[in-house]
Structure 1
Amino acid sequence: MTARSRGTSPGSPAPSPSAPAAAEGVAGAADPGSADPGHAAGTEGAADEKAGTGTDVADDAPETGGRADAADAEGAGADTGGDDHTHRAGDAPQPADHGHGADAEDVPAGAHDALEPADRAHAAGEEGEEGRADAAGTGADLTDDAPETAGRADAADADSNDHARQGAGVDAAAELSDAEVEIAAQRELRARIELRKAEREQPIDSGAKLSGKAADLLAAVRAVESGEKAGAAYFGSPAPEPRRAAPVAPARPVRRKPDEPAAATVAAVRDLLVRGGAPEGLAGQAAEVLGEAAGDVLTADPWRLLAVPGVRPEQADGFARALLGADAGPGDERRTSALVTWLLERAALQGHTALEAPAVRAALAERSVSDPDEAVQQAVADGTVLVFQDGVEEDDDDSAVPVLLGLDRYAMAEESLADGLARLVRTGPADAWEGPELVRAAGAHGLVVHTGGEAARAEPVALAETARRLGLRAVVAVHAENGVRRLGPDVGAVTVAALLEGTAGPGRDEDGAFALDLLVVLDAPQLDVETAAALVESMPDGGRLVLGGDPGVLGGAGAGQVFQDVLAARVCPQIASRTPDPGPLGELVSGIGIGELNQVAAPGKEVVIVPVRDAGEAVHRTVQLVVDSVPRAIGVPPEQTQVITVGHGGSAGTRELNAALKQRLNPGAGRFAGFDPGDRVAYARAPGRTVTGTVVSADATGLHLDCDGARTVVPRGRVESVLRHGWAMTAHQAAGMRWSAVVVVLPGDAAQVLSRSWVYTAFGRAERHLSVVHGVDQALPRAVAEVPGLRRTTRLRTLLEGLLAEPAPQPQAQAEQ
């Protein structure tokens, strides 16, 4: 019910159990944007090199692999392709970060328990290298016996503005990029959903002051939180019956140049930013976000600058002080309202669709808000946030049910998704479908969940083939083009994004619903709540939806955990595949999934452990593996090998690794906005949707890419925000994709961010060969055994349980009446 108002090798025994250090709240949390202090001075106690199960060909030549001496000042947040910027108190606001994860200090106290550990900041300082792991591996050590020649550029990051300025030959594109088209289409789709919801429901009044229902509700919330009264006293109304949403009209991308802010508006904002000490480069973004009246808006409320992506509270505070002087106090209602919204938006970047009210108040207190309770009440009263209490039970322990705060955007998406899923669950059986368990379940139910590893994907694909033989319209959708290629042309799979855009798949019928009878969605753990809502809203009446995926992998980059919530709610059949992933790789990854890091026999060098002492050696060994050892010993060329590491920053993050790999594989000055033809890139078409490709050329229209056979043009003005070099990626970026060979890099400073789900995801990206550059000692088996992965705060599970709960029995007397 809802109340609402606006390093050892695998096989080494795990150490004795020890509780991981509890994640701290905002106070004292390490800032991923802080500079990496570099390697610790001590490197004593180098690992003994012991033979693995294969031939030891470890390099004994002198180590000469260069390593940048300067610390990486940028964070290792869970980026989906945008630039990271270091933000500290007193710094001027920086341009948008386009989707990287929230810094540790930016997440409200108490919310860290739900953050995914991967791709966050490296530890503030790297630990000493004493007592490194023995080199006992599960396969042959493939490190080269030739002299080390892995030089690494001492030059600045390829993402830097200096490189961007070198792309003088790439003019700004006059047309929409693919990402902009997709975002515009999704906004149109969400607008249609919101319109239908508004027509179905009475509007919720909100005003500038607490009064009427808002005051009553806030009083109820405070009473429940304090334990003075049971939640059922206030939140005991029955859940509404699920509604059949009207079909979504086709939302096809329109390739036209969007209306840009007027030059006068941008000029006025630029003047205001300069007067307030903020970078004038933010003028265009601010005008786009705040509209034609952006100058007046910022003059009246300088903290609205926080709505511009990448701007942090301390920077908005400095801007406000420059404009307002002594009137810019920490308790200003304009500031507290902007902070509440900013906190919830940052939490959404980490996957949360809502946060517990006490966590928000604690975070506000850390931001010098003297009365956090009043700030939250004001935010609810003026409609900035909504307040919920879900899952109230009929017992005496209602006070334990948390009160959540959320933004309307994610609340509407989760409620729309819950309504749509409930509609599918209530779909009656079709004609009898004969065949395996999954086929029979899909014939009898409108919603089915299928779980399993990579080999198990064949089962839902076979289901789609069976449906087609029955004369039904069946579609298989995957997360990335990489998945389409892996399934092969005979399957005819499409990406989820292309299906929603209407650029692939069956199209839509006259009512705007998908023209299909069965939709099989693989890689379902990568679905964020807004994408899932758009999919489910588009399902026709009588249609069947099968969500397939591996529950052990990292969740998607957007807000929500749709697949996990549907599994936990147990509102539909759940078919667990019994098909194991084959070979040593399958055995290793399957063990990790149940918390065991086992030593496996790898006679064909399928799994290799490469111990290293420090991050510099980790980078050198990685380059050596990709460039020479894996091609020579395994037969997999560099273009089919993917490097995966824990984050973008740090001394062995994607920046350092990509710089070293570029120097060996495709050296060049980066003359096209930091890139050269032949560079491998990771292209963030939209937050959470990273595709890999190769730079082909550049001209006046932008940078031309080949992404799995599809040609794409990235306008010059967007190159810095959506492109990175892609020889090395994070595990979050790599989720939903696989390569012939994978090199996973675990430097010493990665120990504190490892989890079972991260290791499971990274190791599971390999099809034929996995090399682990291992420098985290016992942290690897400890993470697999003791850190299953951190959960996100969402509402979908309780919404589903409420909608699909059995109706309460009526009292006898009432029934007789």
Structure 2
Amino acid sequence: MSTDPQADTAAAENPATPEAEPSAAAEAEAEAELEGTTEPAPADTEAEPGTDPAVEDEDGEDESPAGTVAGEAGAAAGTAAGEAAPALSEAQAELAAQRIERERIARRKAEREAPVEAGAKLSGKAADLLAAVRAVEGGAKPPAVYFDDAPAAPRKAPVAPPTPRPAAPAAVAAPAPSADTVEGVRAVLARGGAPEALAGPAAAALGEDAAGQLTENPWRLLSLPAVRPTQADGFARALLGAEAGPGDERRTTVLVGWLLAQAGLKGHTALEAPVLEKALAQYGVPDPAVALELAIAEGSVLVFHEPLGPPVAGSSEDAEDAEDAEAPVRVLVGLEGAAMAEESLADGLARLAAGTFDASGDWERVAGSVPSPSAAELIRSVAGHGLVTHTGGEAARAEPVALAAAARELGLRVCLAAHAPGGGPDRVTVAGLLSGAEGPGRDTDGQFALDLLVVLDAPQLDVETAAALVESVPDGARLVLSGDPGVLGSAGAGRVFADVLAARTCPQLVSRTPDPGPLGELVSGVGIGELNQVDAPGKEVVIVPVKDAGEAVHRAVQLVAESVPRAFGIPADSVQVITPGHGGSAGTRALNAALKERLNPGPGRFGGFDPGDRVVHVPSAGRALAARVVSADAEGLHLDRAGARIVVPKELVESQVRHGWAVTAHQAVGTRWPAVVVVLPGDAAQALSRDWVYTAFGRGERHLSVVHGVDQALPHAVAEVPAKPRTTRLTGLLTALATAGAQPR
């Protein structure tokens, strides 16, 4: 490594400060319980890294220790699970029982005349609530609490609904709420002292009966992304008076669902019952076990018994005692959407894995003509199997591309799908494939018209997206999931790729192709927990030490505008800055402001943007697409995205478009640039982890500059801070299906 001689030093005017974080111990503990997981990563499989899917704030996840269900909580969850998930006598009993339970829940809901109560309330005065909501939206800490001791956490940007799972190419948008509905909601909000600005979003979230739902269950206001339990409690108290209490069944039932939804934003598809109960207690619920039991009985959440190992028999060696032995289980609680997606995905993957294929001599012929041994091995494996996984670094991406070419040579219909756009004319995006805007289209049955689907960047698949893909792959087709297990994980819930690898129910090919050069050596070392000093005679890797955030911004701008273009002939527009978060004195906002002033100054007359600005278009959570501003008019902001012209409606510009000279590593995953400048100010130390560093450092093709101000926090993160695990069910579901399929019939 070398130090950049071109970068000047500059004194910082302001110390680096992170975006506002809640400091109360109760809030930290509640968030830790909500975000934590008790699922250990298999010893021989890298855990799928966790990532916050919010675009606005990119922070880490807190891990909570393993727990077991005890006392009334265990009895309640176990009783509900007794209906939904009886003791496993066969591997598929869990899945069948869950389907029966869902039918029972649906019948019960249909019999009710009133809507299921699932909500609670907010603060009393309009000014206080408006200030609180605005504080949440801006990332600041809101005022004092009501029921719970936990102040509101920084805002998570509103997350768009998961990718629909259509049988047809396009999904039908939900109709906008009527004016009467909005007006009715506005009247209820006014009675509860809530800002009228929430009327439209509340009507859209709750439907035509939104006013009635809020009147009966004011805590339903938690359906809005910007509202926290503290504010919902105050709103409920203003409407209900003394009737609104922390143990109100309406409050506790809605709070269970809200906590699970927040866990989904952190990547979990379910939570262990003890973790959920502890989080409920932190939000003032007097009897968390009873609250959880009520939510299960109401059908607002589902409960699962997941085996942790073989049955534990007593001391007797009698065969009858062995049959009566019970398998240790953990009790998981989840929302229906994630549960259905995970089960559908498991069924679809098992269906593809069970396919039989004729690995004829033609496959061996094309495999023999491929110069890469790893690519040839991948071709041979795909020849005889319907589901195959492939792991490797950036250089290994050429192997599934070679597979696609070989399959086309054999006359197969092939589709190569990646997370981000670019990479060649024969490559589509996963989102474009699902929507029908890209790829082969669908047949009359709604299935993809293909014989082989190769998915690159498989770690970026969440359960909703993966289920939609797998459901659309026809019988008799092959699916290859390829990716680097070391990068940051999906923005949505689940750890699909890691779970499939952990299940070991299909062939797994590990590439033997190393990433070349000093950059490849550096990133490979990070992947195994070592931050090595590499020999970079061509200044492929440069370390730029800084003292504070102000100097970090100055040096980053200088590297992008002067040093890298002069030393490597790489235009400034091809240099990407990556930093851990959006806020703070050296976050994306501060860096983009400085880079715009240097590279494309202007008044920002189009909602803060000018023609020529580099931007990131975020049409949905987890999709950050690089673009450039062309113009704007009454229709919206016109962007050029890799040669394709798109228009962002003016009402969506503020939420979907931001400057893109500097991005976070989560936004950068799946894309590479000729040169990358990674900025690590002192206040970024707590945000660093091995998978973050691995992802950020791996985005550069020819050059990497590291603006380094975190001292020993960087090697510590690489060596000691692995990716945060996620609580999911896919591995267990796949294992159960594979075991059932292997049993004699």
Q: Can you list the C-alpha shifts for 1:539-576, whole angstroms capped at 9, x where unaligned? A: 11110000000000010100001000000111111111
407, 428, 451: which one aligns with 1:467: 407
| Number of the residue aligned with 2:451 | 517
The residue type paired with residue 416 of structure 1 is S
Q: How does 1:407-556 map to 2 (within 5 A)?
A: 407-432=335-360, 433-434=363-364, 435=367, 436-481=376-421, 485=422, 487-489=423-425, 492-556=426-490
**Which residue is equivalent to 1:191?**
none
Amino acid at match of 2:169: R
CA distance in 1, matches of 2:393, 2:686: 27
Question: Deviation digits for residues 103-133 of structure 1, max 9, x if unmatched?
Answer: 985453571678837764499xxxxxxxxxx
Pair 233,524 (structure 1): closer, same or farther in 2 beyond 3 Å: closer
Contact 1:54–1:603, Cα closer than 8 Å, also in 2: no
1:122/1:649 CA distance change after superposition, 3 Å? farther
The residue aligned with 1:670 is: 604
| Contact persistence 1:306–1:313 (CA under 8 A) | yes
1:794 is aligned to: 728
Match of 1:375 among 291, 295, 301: 291
- 2:599 partner letter: L
Mapped partners of 1:748, 1:728: distance in 2: 17
TM-score (norm 1): 0.73
Q: Distance in 2 between matches of 1:254 and 1:345?
A: 23
Partner residue, 2:186: 270
Q: What is the CA–CA distance in structure 2 between the aligned matches of 1:87 and 1:260, rounded to whole Å?
A: 39
| SS of match in other structure, 2:514 | coil
CA gap 1:619/1:105 in 2 versus in 1, 3 angstroms: farther
Q: Who is 2:702 aligned against?
A: 768
Change (3 A) 1:70 1:740: closer
Aligned mates of 1:708, 1:602 — CA distance in 2: 32
C-alpha contact (below 8 Å) 2:441/2:448 kept by paired residues: yes
State the match for 2:199 in structure 1.
283
The residue number in structure 2 matching 1:683 is 617
1:648–1:730 contact (8 Å) kept in structure 2: yes
Structure 1: unaligned runs, 5 residues or longer? 1-51, 76-85, 90-101, 124-215
* Conserved? CA contact 1:117–1:754, under 8 Å: no
Please say if residues 676 and 704 of structure 2, whose CA atoms lie closer than 8 Å, have aligned partners that are also in contact. Answer: yes
SS at match of 1:736: coil
The residue number in structure 1 matching 2:268 is 352
| 2:169 is equivalent to residue 252 of structure 1 | yes
Q: Which moves more between the two structures, 443-452 or 674-683? A: 674-683
In structure 2, relative to structure 1, the CA distance for the partners of 1:121 and 1:54 (3 Å cut) is closer
**1:361 aligned onto 2:277:** yes
Quote the Cα distance in structure 2 between the aligned partners of 1:805 and 1:664. Answer: 61
Q: For 1:587, which of 521, 527, 532 is the aligned residue? A: 521
**Residue aligning to 1:314:** 230
2:687 to 743, 753, 759: 753
Asked if the contact 2:310/2:327 (under 8 Å) is kept, the reply is no
State, as a whole percentage, how many aligned pairs show the same letter: 62
AA at the equivalent of 1:328:
A
The code of the aligned residue for 2:302 comes to L
1:343 is matched with 259
The code of the aligned residue for 1:111 comes to G
Cα distance in 2 for partners of 1:53, 1:651 equals: 26
Tell me the SS of whatever aligns to 1:396.
Answer: coil
- Compared with structure 1, are the counterparts of its residues 565 and 117 closer, same or farther at alpha carbon in structure 2 (3 Å cutoff)? closer
The residue number in structure 1 matching 2:218 is 302
Counterparts of 2:532 and 2:85, CA distance in 1 = 49
Secondary structure of the equivalent of 1:599? coil
Inter-partner Cα distance in structure 1 for 2:258 and 2:297:
17
Q: Report the Cα distance in structure 1 between the residues aligned to 2:283 and 2:354, rounded to whole angstroms.
A: 47
In the alignment, which residue of structure 1 is the partner of 2:87? 234
Q: Distance in 2 between matches of 1:583 and 1:224?
A: 57
- Structure 1 window deviating more from structure 2 (347-356 vs 234-243): it is 234-243
Superposition pairs for residues 587-666 of structure 1, below 5 Å? Answer: 587-666=521-600
> Match of 2:600, as an amino acid?
N
8 Å CA contact 2:616, 2:626 repeated in 1 = yes
Residue 59 (1) aligns with residue 3 (2)? no
Alpha-carbon distance between aligned partners in 2 of 1:287 and 1:110, rounded to the nearest angstrom: 29
CA shift for structure 1 position 691: 0.5
- Report deviation, 1:670: 2.1
SS in 2 for 1:804: helix
Shift, 1:743, TM fit: 0.8
Partners of 2:414 and 2:451 within 8 A in 1: yes
Asked if 1:108 is matched to 2:42, the reply is: no
1:31 corresponds in structure 2 to none
Deviations for 1:503-544, whole angstroms, at most 9, x for unmatched residues? 111111122211111000000000000100011011111100
Specify the code of the residue in structure 1 equivalent to 2:346. A
Identify the range of structure 1 (801-810 vs 661-670) with the bigger mean alpha-carbon deviation. Answer: 801-810
| Residues 675/249 of structure 1: CA separation in 2 closer, same or farther (3 Å cut) | closer
Q: CA deviation at 1:59?
A: 2.8
TM-score of the two chains, using structure 2 as the length reference: 0.79
Residue 322 of structure 2 corresponds to: none
2:409 and 2:213 map into 1 onto residues whose CA distance is 60
* SS of residue matched to 2:476: coil
1:72 is displaced (CA, Å) by 6.3
Offset, 1:668? 2.4
Q: Distance in 2 between matches of 1:625 and 1:794?
A: 42
2:309·2:328 contact (CA, 8 Å) conserved in 1?
no
Distance 1:808 1:440 in 2: 24
Give 1:558-573 correspondences, 5 Å limit.
Answer: 558-573=492-507
Asked if the contact 1:658/1:726 (under 8 Å) is kept, the reply is: yes
How far apart, in 1, do the equivalents of 2:16 and 2:688 lie? 25
Post-superposition offset of 1:235: 3.9
Q: CA separation in 2, counterparts of 1:539 and 1:217?
A: 41
> 1:208 aligns to what?
none
For 1:296, give the aligned amino acid. G
* Aligned counterpart for 1:729 among listed residues 633, 641, 663: 663
CA shift for structure 1 position 701: 0.6
CA 1:110–1:57: 2 relative to 1, 3 Å: closer
Q: How far has the Cα of 1:252 moved from its partner?
A: 2.3
Report what 2:632 is aligned to.
698
Closer, same or farther: CA 667–547 of 1 in aligned 2, 3 Å: same
1:277 positional shift: 2.3
Comparing both chains, which one has the higher relative contact order based on Cα–Cα distances under 8 Å and sequence gaps of 6 or more? Answer: 1
1:251: Cα distance to partner?
2.0
2:455 partner amino acid: V
Separation (CA, whole Å) in 2 of partners of 1:104 and 1:665: 44
Deviations 1:21-63 (A, max 9, x none): xxxxxxxxxxxxxxxxxxxxxxxxxxxxxxx547744536xx2
SS of match in other structure, 1:805: helix
Q: Deviations over 1:557-599 (max 9, x none)?
A: 0000100000011111111111111111111111111111111
2:135 equivalent in structure 1:
none
Counterpart amino acid of residue 349 in structure 2: L
Provide the secondary structure at the position in 1 that maps to 2:389.
Answer: strand
Offset at residue 220 of structure 1 (A): 7.3
Q: Separation in 2 of the partners of 1:607 and 1:471?
A: 44
AA matched with 1:340:
V
Q: Following the alignment from structure 2 to structure 1, what is the Cα–Cα distance between the partners of residues 483 and 635?
A: 38
Contact 1:241 1:803 in 2 (8 A): no
Q: Contact 1:104–1:120 at 8 Å: present in 2 too?
A: no
